[in-house]
């Protein structure tokens, strides 16, 4: 049985594996854990550790502007300063920029008219 299959089987039975440095602990409903299951875990412990570690890699991150927690894939990284932006903040920033440009143009127009 592969580590992934063992993990799926444990989860099907309501057993949760907890990764700690150098070992795997488990939380199981009463009476669910059997010597056979324990042996399965022991058999593929290193592979289970690797599998669980890869699952725990953060998939979400915070927007650096408003602090909203989002899926990493939904955040946009600023090319200049590496800040992360959620779609809302990105849109707001875009709007602000457009407004600034509009105001700038209006000032230019007025200056030109006054001359």
Q: Interface with Zn ion by CB under 5 A: which range of 5-13, 14-22, 54-62, 65-73?
A: 65-73
Burial (CB count <10 Å: 0-12, 13-18, 19+), residue 85: buried
How many residues appear in the chain?
Answer: 115
Counting Cα atoms < 13 Å in the Cβ hemisphere of 107 gives 6
The mark string for 68-107 relative to Zn ion (x by CB under 5 A, - otherwise) is x-----------------x--x------------------
Longest dimension (CA), the chain: 91
- 5-64 residues in contact with Zn ion (CB under 5 A) are 63
- Residue closer to Zn ion by CB (options 45, 70) is 70
* Contact set with Zn ion (CB under 5 A): 63, 65-66, 68, 86, 89
């Amino acid at each position: 049985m592969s580590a992934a299959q063992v993990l799926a089987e444990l989860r099907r039975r309501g057993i949760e594996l907890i990764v700690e440095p150098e070992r795997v602990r488990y939380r199981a409903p009463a009476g669910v854990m059997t010597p056979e299951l324990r042996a399965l875990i022991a058999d593929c412990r290193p592979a289970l550790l690797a599998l669980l570690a890869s699952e725990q890699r953060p998939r979400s991150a915070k927007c650096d502007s408003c602090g909203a927690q989002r899926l990493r894939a939904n955040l946009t990284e600023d090319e200049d300063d590496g800040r992360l932006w959620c779609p809302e903040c990105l849109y707001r920033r875009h709007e602000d920029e457009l407004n600034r440009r509009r105001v700038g143009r209006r000032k230019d127009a007025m200056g030109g008219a006054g001359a």
